[in-house]
Every structure is written in C-alpha cells, then in structure tokens.
Amino acid sequence: MKKVLVTGALGQIGSELVRELAKRYGKENIISSDIRDDLYEKVRPYSTFAIADATNALEVERLIAKYRPDTVYHLAAILSASAEERPLMAWEINMNSLVNVLESSRVHGCSVFVPSSIGAFGPTTPKENTPQVTIQRPTSIYGVTKVAGELLCDYYHYRFGIDTRGVRFPGLISNDTLPGGGTTDYAVDIYYSAIKEGKYSSFLSADTRLDMMYMPDAINAMIKIMEADPSKMKNRNAYNITAMSITPEDIAASIKKFMPEFELTYHEDHMRQAIADSWPDSIDASAAKEEWGFSPEYDLDAMTKDMLDTISKKQK
C-alpha cells in the first residue's frame, strides 16, 4: 500500500490528483499540504491536510518525518506568467522547495515525482516534434527553474539513489480548479467564457501552437509513471508528454462544433506571447510511450465536449 504526500495540493493539478489518489490508495493514505488553506474544502474529503511552507526546510522535514509517506508528489511552485512578474521569488520557491523535498526524501527514502514543463525548452530548441533529449536554453525564469529542477532530480538519483521521476507537462486544461498564472491559461478561460458569454478574447495570437493535455490524462500519467517499473526508465525525470498540439483557432473551431455562435477575438499580452513563442510547437512523447506506457485518451473534440458539458452543469 502506498502512502502519499502531495505538496502544493490546493493548486490546479494537486486538487484533482488528491481525489484520484484517494480513490486508488484510500483517503487514510493521502496527506495533502499547501502554504494556504483557502481551498482546503477541495481536498478535505480525500486526505489529511497540513499547512506547510515548502521553502522552509524544517517544515518539510517535520511533514515527512510525521507522516512517513513512501511517495511525494511535489507540486508547490510558481507558474510561468506569475514567475516572470517576480523572478527572484520564483527562483526561491521553485528551487528551495525542491531542494527541501529532495533532502527529506533522501533521509526518509521516499520516491519523488517532480513536474517539469514544456517551459524547460527555449527559442534554440527544435520547434517541431521536439526530441526527448535536446537543446534546453529557456529564456523565462520559470524555464530556468524547470531545467535546474530536472538536473537536480537526476543528480539525486545518480548520487544518492533516490527514486526521482517526472514529466514535462504541456499546458493542462481542467474544469475544476482554475489555473494558477501560466502561459496556457487561455485554453481553460476560453471554455468558461464560451459558456458564460458566448465569446472570448485570447491573449495569445491565432496561430500560437502549443502542446496541451486534458487534466484526467495528466492525472493518469502522474499515477502511471510512479507505479511503473523503473528498470525500463532511461530518462526518469523529464519525460515529454502531450496529447495535442493546438492553436487558439483550433480550440475555437472545436467549440463552434458544439456552439456555432461562439466568437473568438484577440488582444495583446507581450509577456505571455513572448513566453509562448519561445516554447515548442509540438513535442515528441515517444520515450514516455515506450518506457512506461503513457497513452492519453482525450483528443481536442473529446476534451471540448467534456469541458463544455461540465462547466455548463456547474453554472446552472
């Protein structure tokens, strides 16, 4: 039986991951933690909740020593657009929290899942079918912390034998918790606005192509990689994963299949456009498929249908 700790558990990914982990391993085996408790009701039915600042080494150590998880999903972080507004804070949160989690996991022998991102690539990375192993010179502070995080997780594995594993997530689209300040947030907002107002103004241009994935596929991938046989994993810490490579126009076309009157317009957001332009158009996820059986279920239209159905039910 697994005992699992999730840091950053009240965020977009954590709040849905905790629910799924509880279904799988039992609520009594899940500990969720965050620096805040405003959305605590989201995880309360599925876990024991503890407030902890992941940048504080002592608080992380106390958490892990008290609950003795065998697996830690470390999700506490600052996302790309918010990171660019406060680069030093992003470095402090994204790096110090990771060091703290890795150190306590080394002491207590936990396996650790750490998400990287397509933000770990940069303008000199090949843009099409971006390989698993390639040039990584990101130009955002978020990307810098993600590359450093991938390397640090590799280091803890090779140097100390810690069972670190991870994926490079594309933009994630969900109908539950709202996104936390990323460059791909438009791909969530567009569905809420479609239901509420029948129209949306995108902050990324019509032809900005990025990888995306529906949240149920992301949650499945996170559980699958931590349950996989590690002897087959050559890349371990930063598997490219994706379900679709799409533009705002593609999402609008998909929404129009269900809501023909939907209208998409555009406005400028220089910072987020620059970040998006520095990321790949499409990444190659073949290593994840071959080494631990990654296989997303949702394509764009299946995701659009589910997003529109779920959001309209919630807003009734």
Ligand X SMILES: NC(=O)c1ccc[n+]([C@@H]2O[C@H](COP(=O)([O-])OP(=O)(O)OC[C@H]3O[C@@H](n4cnc5c(N)ncnc54)[C@H](O)[C@@H]3O)[C@@H](O)[C@H]2O)c1
**Residue numbers annotated as active site:** 142
Q: Mask: binding to ligand X, 271-310, rule CB under 6 A, as x and -?
A: ----------------------------------------
Nearer to ligand X, 12 or 254 (CB): 12
Within 78-107, the residues that bind ligand X by CB under 6 A are 79, 93, 97
Question: Edge-to-edge strand order for the sheet containing 111-113?
Answer: 48-51, 30-34, 4-7, 71-74, 111-113, 164-165
Within 178-207, the residues that bind ligand X by CB under 6 A are 179-180, 182, 184
14 contacts ligand X (rule: CB under 6 A): yes
Give the interface segment with ligand X, choosing from 102-110, 165-173, 241-249, 299-307 (CB under 6 A): 165-173
Reference 176, options 41, 72, 47, 81; nearest CA is: 41
Q: How many CA atoms are closer than 13 Å to the CA of 293, on its beta-carbon side?
A: 9
Contact 139, 152 (CB under 8 A): no
Residue 2 φ then ψ, to 5°: -90, 145
Q: 41: which residues sit within 8 A by CB, 6+ positions away?
A: none
Smallest distance, ligand X to C-beta of residue 205, A: 19
Task: Determine the residue type at 214.
Answer: Y
Output the CA torsion 288→292→297→303 (10° steps).
-50
Nearer to ligand X, 34 or 163 (CB): 34
Reference 98, options 138, 43, 155; nearest CA is: 155
Q: 80: which residues sit within 8 A by CB, 6+ positions away?
A: 117, 119, 140, 142, 143, 181, 182, 183, 275
Q: Site size for ligand X, by CB under 6 A? A: 28
Within 36-65, the residues that bind ligand X by CB under 6 A are 36, 53-55
32 contacts ligand X (rule: CB under 6 A): no
Structure tokens at 316: 């009734």
Say if strands 167-169 and 199-202 run parallel, antiparallel, or are unpaired: unpaired
121 contacts ligand X (rule: CB under 6 A): no
77 contacts ligand X (rule: CB under 6 A): yes
Smallest distance, ligand X to C-beta of residue 11, A: 2
Nearer to ligand X, 76 or 112 (CB): 76
253 contacts ligand X (rule: CB under 6 A): no
SS3 of 78, please?
Answer: coil
Nearer to ligand X, 44 or 197 (CB): 44
The residue with tokens 């569905």 is 191
245 contacts ligand X (rule: CB under 6 A): no
143 contacts ligand X (rule: CB under 6 A): no
Give the interface segment with ligand X, choosing from 104-112, 152-160, 168-176, 266-274 (CB under 6 A): 168-176
Angle between helices 97-108 and 57-67 (to 10 degrees): 30
Smallest distance, ligand X to C-beta of residue 231, A: 26
Task: Give the nearest residue (CB) to ligand X.
Answer: 11
Binding residues vs ligand X (CB under 6 A):
7-8, 10-14, 34-36, 53-55, 75-77, 79, 93, 97, 115, 117, 169, 171-172, 179-180, 182, 184
